[in-house]
Amino acid sequence: MIGTKAYQERMFCNFSLSERVPQDHFLGKVAEAVDLSFCAKVGEASLRLHRATGYRDTIPGFSRSLNYRVGFTTDTAFSDSTAQLWRTYDYLVTTTDFSGNESSPSNEAAGIRYMTGDANADGVIDVGDIVYLINYLFKTEPAPSPLPAGDATCDGNVDVGDIVYLINYLFKGGPPPSC
Ligand SMILES: [Ca+2]
Ligand SMILES: [Ca+2]
C-alpha cells in the first residue's frame, strides 16, 4: 500500500553466534564437513536461518571480511575443500537470515586438514608412518598430531590395529585408509 512502509524485522540484532558454539566444538578435519547443526537448535526454527558462512585465516585474531571468506552453505554442514594439506587454519562462522542480516561471528576455532594414515605428517603414507606409530605406541614417542591422522582403521582409536592396517595396505594389497 502506498505510504505504508514495510516493517523489516532485524532478527540478529541481539544474536551472538559465539554464545551458541558448543564449548567442545572442534572443527578438526577441515577437509570434511564441519557440523553446524548447533546453529539451529530444536525449538528455535523461528530464527529462519538461511545460510552459514565460513571465514578463515592462518593467523588467529583476524576480522570477518570478504578477504577471509571461504564459502557458505545452506545445509547444517560446511566443508572447506580448498584447505591445504597439513596447514592449520583459524575459522569463524556466521549465520545469515533470509533478510540478509548476518550474525556476529562464532568463536575462532583452529582446524587442520590431515590425511588419515599419514601419522608422521609428511604428505605420503609409507613405511615411515608404520615406524612412527610403533614408536608412539611402544616407545613413548610423540603421538600423531592430530591424533586421528594415525587412525588408519577409522575406528576412533589409535592402536596396533592401525599398524596392521597400514602393513596390509602397503604390502599386501589391502584398502587404503578411507575416512
Ligand atoms: Ca607419512
Ligand atoms: Ca584405529
Task: Quote the DSSP letter at residue 164.
Answer: H
Closest ligand to 123 CA?
Answer: 1
How do residues 84-115 score in pLDDT, each as one tens digit?
A: 888 888 888 888 877 788 888 888 888 888 88
Listed residue (145, 134, 144) closest to 167, CA to CA: 134
Residues in the chain: 179
Grid cell of 63 as nine digits:
576480522
- At position 145, the amino acid (one-letter code) is S
Grid cell of 103 as nine digits:
550474525
Three-state SS for 78? strand
Tell me how far apart the alpha carbons of residues 21 and 86 are, in angstroms, rounded to a whole number. Answer: 25
CA of 37 to the centre of ligand 2 (A): 27
CA of 161 to the centre of ligand 1 (A): 17
23 vs 138: which has the higher pLDDT: 138
- Name residues with Cβ closer than 5 Å to ligand 2, which is an ion: 151, 153, 155, 157, 162
pTM: 0.63
Please state whether the peptide bond connecting residue 142 to the residue before it is cis, i.e. omega within 30 degrees of 0. Answer: no
How do residues 120-132 score in pLDDT, each as one tens digit?
A: 999 999 999 999 9
What is the per-residue pLDDT for 8?
46
CATH 2.60.40.10: which residues of the chain? 17-112
Residue 6 has pLDDT above 60, yes or no: no
Average pLDDT over residues 127-148: 94
What is the per-residue pLDDT for 33?
61
CA of 13 to the centre of ligand 1 (A): 48
Fold of domain 115-179? Type 1 dockerin domain (1.10.1330)
Residue 166 has pLDDT above 80, yes or no: yes
CATH 1.10.1330.10: which residues of the chain? 115-179
Fold of domain 17-112? Immunoglobulin-like (2.60.40)
